[in-house]
């Protein structure tokens, strides 16, 4: 099946891989998803959450699934005990995925018109969109959800602007901060949010993510185990390793380190494989 992207491109978009907003399956984190659904049903969902954990384990996907759940079930008392599974054919799913739903604001690094790429930080101008977003009346009285993805990328001015919004949020508003390193946030922001720590994916969950993405994961059990070991529970890492020659890069690096004497020719081949202008992802894999 050919993948058709409907979500806006982001600074960390990977070819052929759905963005979190257009991912209809949530793999892993069942206990956390159940806890959030239960809190909402009981009317005890906090006004701000920090979803913390390593890169690429599904934090943003969980955030969008929670947003979908709140909008699909605006009456919390009648909401189901498990997060609703999005239907990719529904208008609600497509509105959220394309960034067109009036009750969901997704903030991430903005485009840089000068460089034709993306800015290196989440700017204060982006965070200022929150005030305008919250000043508008919810179109059907349902929740409004602000997803900051990732909050680690905010510069100081952006963080201070967000803090003002967190101090006095309107009713039926949920802030979800996607965070890779909670220590990078202002303590005053952390104190106003409920911290939810997500764990890396199990090997079978990793393979479940990869099964829907080309190229498919290796069939050989030993190769799968090696891939899972190198990915460290991160689906993004696993995708990079399979799609961008990451396993080969890691293997070549291991061989160089383990060699009894320097293999200059192999070192040059590895350098050529990761140092080209269009090989930023391969270079990042090499560094990690």
Shared domain check, 172 and 207: no
Shared domain check, 33 and 108: yes
**In 148-186, which positions are buried (b, 16+ CB within 10 angstroms) versus exposed (e)?**
bbbbbbbeeebbebbeebbeebeebbbbbbbbbebeebe
Could you tell me if 178 and 58 are in contact, meaning their C-beta atoms sit under 8 angstroms apart? no
Domain count, the chain: 2
| Domain around 167 | 20-197
Shared domain check, 72 and 178: yes
Shared domain check, 232 and 113: no
Query: Which of 197, 212, 231 delimits the end of a domain?
Result: 197
Shared domain check, 166 and 223: no
Query: Which of 128, 162, 197 delimits the end of a domain?
Result: 197
Residue 160 lies in a domain: yes
* 26 phi, psi to nearest 5 deg: -100, 110
- Secondary structure class of 193 (helix, strand, coil): coil
CATH number, domain at 94? 3.40.50.300
Query: Which of 197, 232, 262 delimits the end of a domain?
Result: 197
Written as tens digits, the pLDDT of the chain (288 aa) is 568 899 999 999 998 999 999 999 999 999 999 999 999 999 999 999 999 999 999 999 999 999 999 999 999 999 999 999 999 999 999 999 999 999 999 999 999 989 889 999 999 999 999 999 998 877 677 899 999 999 999 999 999 999 999 998 899 999 999 999 999 999 999 999 999 999 999 999 999 999 888 888 888 898 899 899 999 999 999 998 888 888 888 888 888 888 888 889 988 888 888 887 778 888 888 887
């Amino acid at each position: 099946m050919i993948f058709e992207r409907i979500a806006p491109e982001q600074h960390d978009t990977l070819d052929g891989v759905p963005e979190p907003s257009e991912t209809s399956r949530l793999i892993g984190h069942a206990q956390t998803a159940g806890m959030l659904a239960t809190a909402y049903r009981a009317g005890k969902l906090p006004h701000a959450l920090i979803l913390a954990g390593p890169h690429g384990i599904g934090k943003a996907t969980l955030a969008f699934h929670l947003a979908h759940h709140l909008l699909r079930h605006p009456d919390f008392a009648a909401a189901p005990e498990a997060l609703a599974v999005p239907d990719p054919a529904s208008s609600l799913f497509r509105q959220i995925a394309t960034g067109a739903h009036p009750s969901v604001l997704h903030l991430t690094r903005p485009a840089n018109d000068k460089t034709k790429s993306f800015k290196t930080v989440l700017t204060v101008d982006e965070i200022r969109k929150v005030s305008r977003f919250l000043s508008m009346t919810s179109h059907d009285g349902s929740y409004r959800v602000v997803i900051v993805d990732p909050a680690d990328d905010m510069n100081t001015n952006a963080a201070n602007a967000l803090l003002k919004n967190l101090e006095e949020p309107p009713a039926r508003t949920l802030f979800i901060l996607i965070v890779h390193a909670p220590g990078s946030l202002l303590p005053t922001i952390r104190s106003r949010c409920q911290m939810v720590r997500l764990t890396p994916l199990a090997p079978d969950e990793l393979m479940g993510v990869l099964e829907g993405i080309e190229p498919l994961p290796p069939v050989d059990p030993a190769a799968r185990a090696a891939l899972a070991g190198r990915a460290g529970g991160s689906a993004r890492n696993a995708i990079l390793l399979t799609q961008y020659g990451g396993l080969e890069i890691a293997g070549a690096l291991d061989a160089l380190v383990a060699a009894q004497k320097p293999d200059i020719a192999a070192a040059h081949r590895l350098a050529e494989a990761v140092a080209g202008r269009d090989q930023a992802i391969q270079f990042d894999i090499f560094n990690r």
